[in-house]
Structure 1
Amino acid sequence: MNSLRLKLKAKSGPEPSTSKPFEFDPCESAKKGKSFDLGHGSEVFHVPRFLPADRSWAWFDYINKHIPWSRPTLRIFGRHLVQPRDSCYIAADGLPAISYNGHTPRAYSWDDFPPLKDILDTVHKALPGSRFNSLVLNRYDGNNDYVSWHSDDEVLYGLTPEIASVTFGCEREFLLRKKPSKMSPASNDEPKSKRLRKSHDPDQHSFVLKHGSLLVMRGYTQRDWLHSVPKRAKPMSIRINLTFRRVLP
């Protein structure tokens, strides 16, 4: 793992300047993306090469070093378990608190971390009409860090939330799986591993989220779909993921 981190560091650049103008057009980058219609009002938009590599490495370095990462203890099915990744939460003033699995993270201010505001501005330029006011950051410190199957369907995000995800560092696989239909309970009896092995299954999707990529979930994706970032067998270096959201006041 140490050698992997050294290689990762060798690729990294200087810390970003908050006053440095954009060297690329986010709108033009977004035009290279592709939309995936998941059906019934659910959509995913993916831009594999959204941010320039040098700017992405500079932002990676800043976020990795300066964000107050924590690994809280969660309550899951009656058990207390340490979250299998580092996280941090940023939110605009006056928003209601978020809570998951018995944990209510501290909300830091956007003003505490100016480069995050620069990234937010970049995402807003690429996605006209978006109005994100909060950010959940996750850091996967190796192949054993992960996020299990879940959906971000909390009431405070509304019925059709838009969630924009920007990735820095090591690429990881991002999986989508349709939620079991209440009309067909037999689908719940099929082993999870068997369902994941099906090829060309319209109810399963996989994206490789690379350094500097953008992925956006829209419409009823949180209502109808689950997503995860699974563990991997081979050693991996650090991956940092930013998910921009809009919390309803």
Structure 2
Amino acid sequence: MASLLRLFGSNPKTDSGEAQGSKPEPRREVLNLGGGSEVLHIPRFVEREKAWEWFELLDKGIPWTRPTIRVFGRSALQPRETCYVADQGLTDLKYSGHQPHAHTWDEFPVLKNILKAVHDALPGSNFNSLLLNRYNAGSDYVSWHADDEPLYGPTPEIASVTFGCERDFLLRKKPAKSQAASGSREAARKRPKVSSTPQQHSFLLKHGSLLVMRGYTQRDWQHSLPKRAKAQSPRINLTFRRVLA
């Protein structure tokens, strides 16, 4: 489970109510993964009522599709619905043999409002693309992967906002490359045995939460959203990214 190494609280004056007319800053949890990788988690990024308002607009107003993708050489329906939004002129997004149509921000005013909230929470960020996913029930999922496409650069910042049903989000260290690649099988057998269980962390992403992956997280780590039989209602997830060219 996730071991939170640093907790950034809100301003003491704001917490004590001394600053009139202002609200407490949301609690920020930072997990240092080591090696220049970091995860920021804001459990209550969006107030509950506003989060439900945005959920309804997204659920009814986004042209959701469930595309056919290729996994391990086979074609299959993607196990979640999706939509892609991006600035004009950016490099096309392609994954698993699928190239989604890039909608414009102006088609969905609610997305521009959410983007502004994310930029306000993450000073210095400048996202220009967004991949939306809708998980209709616990049978919808995303398998282990890393968002390490070259169009995002070596150290992408990816901000993930969750609306609706809470789901488990897992992180694991990428498996080491084959130990036998540089020597014979005999030499490999003589090497000390190393545990095959990767370092792993877990977050329960709740309605209105924000999770940000930074630094070398995509290079060194993988993430997934596993199936959960008890998840009976939809979850909508927005992952904001910056395409470099």
TM normalised by structure 1 equals 0.82
Equivalent of 1:175 in 152, 170, 176: 170
Equivalent of 2:25 in 11, 28, 31: 28
Alignment correspondent of 2:154: 159
Equivalent of 1:95 in 90, 99, 108: 90
Larger Rg: 2
CA distance in 2, matches of 1:188, 1:81: 35
Equivalent of 1:113 in 90, 108, 112: 108
CA distance in 2, matches of 1:184, 1:169: 43
Query: Is the CA contact 2:152–2:241 (under 8 Å) kept in the aligned structure 1?
Result: yes
Equivalent of 2:244 in 237, 245, 248: 248
Output the amino acid matched with 1:237: S
CA distance in 1, matches of 2:41, 2:179: 30
Alignment correspondent of 1:17: none
1:232 deviation in Å? 1.0
**Deviations for 1:23-52, whole angstroms, at most 9, x for unmatched residues?**
987x933xx111100000000000111110
SS state of the match for residue 84, structure 1? coil
Alignment correspondent of 1:73: 68
SS state of the match for residue 69, structure 2? strand
CA distance in 1, matches of 2:224, 2:194: 18
Alignment correspondent of 2:41: 46
CA distance in 2, matches of 1:59, 1:233: 25
Alignment correspondent of 1:59: 54
Structure 1: 5+ residue stretches without partners: 1-22, 196-200
1:183 deviation in Å? 7.0
SS state of the match for residue 28, structure 1? coil
1:184 deviation in Å? 4.9
Q: Which has the higher helix share?
A: 1
Output the amino acid matched with 1:75: R
CA distance in 2, matches of 1:125, 1:89: 22
**Deviations for 1:37-75, whole angstroms, at most 9, x for unmatched residues?**
000000000011111000000000000001000000001
Cα RMSD of the aligned pairs, angstroms, is 2.1
1:77 deviation in Å? 1.4
Larger deviation: 63-72 or 230-239? Answer: 230-239
Please state if 1:232 is matched with 2:228: yes
> How has the CA–CA distance of structure 1 residues 235 and 122 changed in structure 2, closer, same or farther, with 3 Å as cutoff?
closer
1:76 deviation in Å? 1.1
Alignment correspondent of 1:15: none
Output the amino acid matched with 1:231: K
Query: Is the CA contact 1:88–1:137 (under 8 Å) kept in the aligned structure 2?
Result: yes
Structure 2: 5+ residue stretches without partners: 1-20, 181-187
> How has the CA–CA distance of structure 1 residues 36 and 106 changed in structure 2, closer, same or farther, with 3 Å as cutoff?
same
Equivalent of 1:220 in 216, 221, 228: 216
CA distance in 2, matches of 1:95, 1:106: 12
CA distance in 2, matches of 1:94, 1:247: 10
Output the amino acid matched with 1:182: K
TM normalised by structure 2 equals 0.83
CA distance in 1, matches of 2:42, 2:127: 18
CA distance in 2, matches of 1:69, 1:248: 26
Alignment correspondent of 2:11: none
